[in-house]
Structure 1
Amino acid sequence: MPVERDELLTIEEAKARLAVLEAGYRAKSKALRAYIRVLEADGKEHANDE
């Protein structure tokens, strides 16, 4: 969802795009935190450790 230099956005449109990006990053960071907790609970350094 990059903004081209010649693309003009209203403040509302820019805020909406920002909200979508922030929500995506929050979801990814939550998923990664959960994954790390699982690995730590299992005492594994890598997901494929035996």
Structure 2
Amino acid sequence: MPALAIILVIVGLVLLFLGIFVEAVKFLLWIGVIILIIGIIAALLRFIRRQV
């Protein structure tokens, strides 16, 4: 599970930067944001479960 969250965050950041720097692929910006949010939520859930 932790590896999946890290991979999602990295992929989200890469797609986010690709979407910002390349105007022609604007949809990658939104995909990157969505994947980044999913990765952050997964990391937070893992952190919360570890605390309980």
TM over 0.5, yes or no? Answer: yes
- Unaligned 5+ segments in structure 1 are 38-50
- CA displacement at 1:7 relative to structure 2: 3.0
Map 1:1-50 → 2, pairs under 5 A: 1=14, 3=17, 6-8=21-23, 9-10=25-26, 12-37=27-52
Paired-residue identity, %: 8
Deviations 1:1-50 (A, max 9, x none): 1516643341x22110100100100000000000001xxxxxxxxxxxxx
The RMSD of aligned alpha carbons is 2.0
- Unaligned 5+ segments in structure 2 are 1-13
Point out 4+ residue stretches in structure 1 off by more than 2 angstroms.
4-9
Q: Please, what TM-score do these two structures have when normalized by structure 2? A: 0.55
Flag the structure with larger Rg.
Answer: 1
Structure holding more helix per residue: 2
Q: How many residues align?
A: 36
